[in-house]
Chains A and B, each alone.
Chain A
């Protein structure tokens, strides 16, 4: 096996560094994309690719906006409760 394959396998033996800052919240977006891709893949009766990706995009944006709004509301609640 070449060294690059070993390097690739080794990358799965050590966790990557993720700080406890607000930037780490961005990790939710790839997961939301995965949820949207799978949900639409099992929901659509026939897979027309253009329609599929349009629906995935709409679902992804809808969930993202909703989660961001919930985040803002919760942040405001915490702000008013602790000031």
Chain B
């Protein structure tokens, strides 16, 4: 492999990884794994939104629960939106506004587990997409076909 080809290949892997993070399943879509991409998109997005619905945006809390947030952010950069909402409310200065998104008990723990597991599963998908792109999937065995 020439130096130029090697640079292009590395750049392609970075693009696949980034796309997989930005939109779950997009990395697989770009390497022509359409069914896999659809399953990943629906499952990751559905799991994350279910968690967010259970616990509200308050469970995405970069200051109060940084370890959970580190896993949640793996779903997509769009997670910055609920994080920003929670952060802005905490720093508003108004007592009522500061506790607007507080969540406790089972809704908090179940919501955090759902959203964080969605993030960790997406990490698995990012690695899978990059590995498949590296091993030439979509070029070697062609597009996926049904039985």
Interface positions of A (Cβ within 8 A of B): 11-20, 24, 27, 30-31, 34-35, 37-39, 41-42, 46-52
- Could you list 29 A-B pairs, sorted by A, with CB under 8 Å? A12-B53, A12-B57, A13-B101, A15-B54, A16-B54, A16-B107, A18-B110, A19-B106, A20-B105, A24-B106, A24-B110, A27-B110, A30-B50, A34-B43, A34-B44, A34-B47, A34-B117, A37-B39, A38-B39, A38-B40, A38-B124, A41-B36, A41-B39, A41-B43, A41-B125, A46-B141, A48-B146, A48-B147, A51-B147
Pair count A-B, CB < 8 A: 84
The size class of the interface chain B forms with chain A is 35 or more
Are B47 and A46 in contact, CB atoms less than 8 angstroms apart?
no
Residues of B contacting A: mostly: helix
Are A18 and B107 in contact, CB atoms less than 8 angstroms apart?
yes
Of all chain A residues, which has the CB nearest B56? Answer: A15
Task: For B56, give its contact among A14, A30, A47 (CB under 8 Å).
Answer: A14
Are A34 and B118 in contact, CB atoms less than 8 angstroms apart?
yes
* Most central of B33, B39, B107, B111 by chain A CB within 10 Å: B39
Are A47 and B144 in contact, CB atoms less than 8 angstroms apart?
yes
A48 cross-chain contacts in B, Cβ below 8 A: 146-147
Are B50 and A15 in contact, CB atoms less than 8 angstroms apart?
no
Binary interface encoding of chain B residues 109-131 relative to chain A, with 1 for a CB under 8 A from any of its CBs, else 0: 01101100110010011001000
Of all chain B residues, which has the CB nearest A19? Answer: B106
**B85–chain A nearest beta-carbon distance, Å:** 9
Known A18-B107, A42-B125: A47·B114 in contact at CB below 8 Å: no
B136 cross-chain contacts in A, Cβ below 8 A: none
Complex CA–CA separation, A16 to B128 (angstroms): 34
Complex CA–CA separation, A44 to B78 (angstroms): 29
Of all chain A residues, which has the CB nearest B121? Answer: A38
Task: For B47, give its contact among A20, A31, A50 (CB under 8 Å).
Answer: A31
Known A12-B53, A50-B147: A37·B43 in contact at CB below 8 Å: yes
